[in-house]
Amino acid sequence: MLRERVEKAREIAEHELVAVLKRDEEGRPKALLVPGGEGKQYQVLIRRNAAFETECFLWTALGPVPCRGNQNGHVCYHSLAAVFAAAREAGFRFMVTDSLENAERLARIGGEIKELRSRQGSGHLFLVILKKRSAQKDLDDLFG
Ligand SMILES: [Zn+2]
C-alpha cells in the first residue's frame, strides 16, 4: 500500500533518522543513509532533473545491492524517506499520490507537482509540493 509506505517514510524522516552522506554543489542532499527493517541500512541517491529520480541500495558486507523495494512499479519507502528528509531540511512539505489526476486535484489548493521516479524500475509517484511560507507572508497575514 502506498499510504503505508508514505507513513513509514514520513516517520523515519520526522524522527531525524536519515543521515546526509553527500551534497551537491548547491548544498542539497544527494546521497542519504536511511535505516530499514532488521537493522539494515540503505543508501539513497537523489537526482534533481525534470523529475526527482531516486536509486536505493542495501548495504551488505559484500557491497551495495539494489533495493528490491523498487520492483513491480514501486518506489521504495527508503527513497521516500530520503526525499522527505531532504524536503524537511529545505523547509518544504509535500503530499504523495500515485496518479497525476490526484496530484492535479491536490495542487488546486496551492502546490507544485513534481514527479518522483525510481531509476531502478518503472515506479513513479507524484509529489505535490507545498510552498514554504515566508516570514513576510506571516506578518502580512497577522497585520495586513
Ligand atoms: Zn529502498
Half-sphere exposure in the Cβ direction for 64 (13 Å, CA):
10
Half-sphere exposure in the Cβ direction for 96 (13 Å, CA):
25
**Residue 80's pLDDT is what?**
98
CA of 122 to the centre of ligand 1 (A): 14
CA of 35 to the centre of ligand 1 (A): 10
State pTM to two decimals. Answer: 0.89
Is residue 81 within 8 A of residue 9, CB to CB? The reply is yes
Question: Residues 29, 100, 110, CA angle at the centre, nearest 5°?
Answer: 70
Q: 130-143 pLDDT, tens per residue?
A: 876 655 565 566 66
Three cell numbers, residue 131: 510552498
CA of 137 to the centre of ligand 1 (A): 38
Q: How many CB atoms are closer than 10 A to CB 54? A: 25
pLDDT exceeds 90 at position 84: yes
Chain-centroid distance of CA 131 in Å reads 16
Mean pLDDT for the stretch of residues 108-124:
94
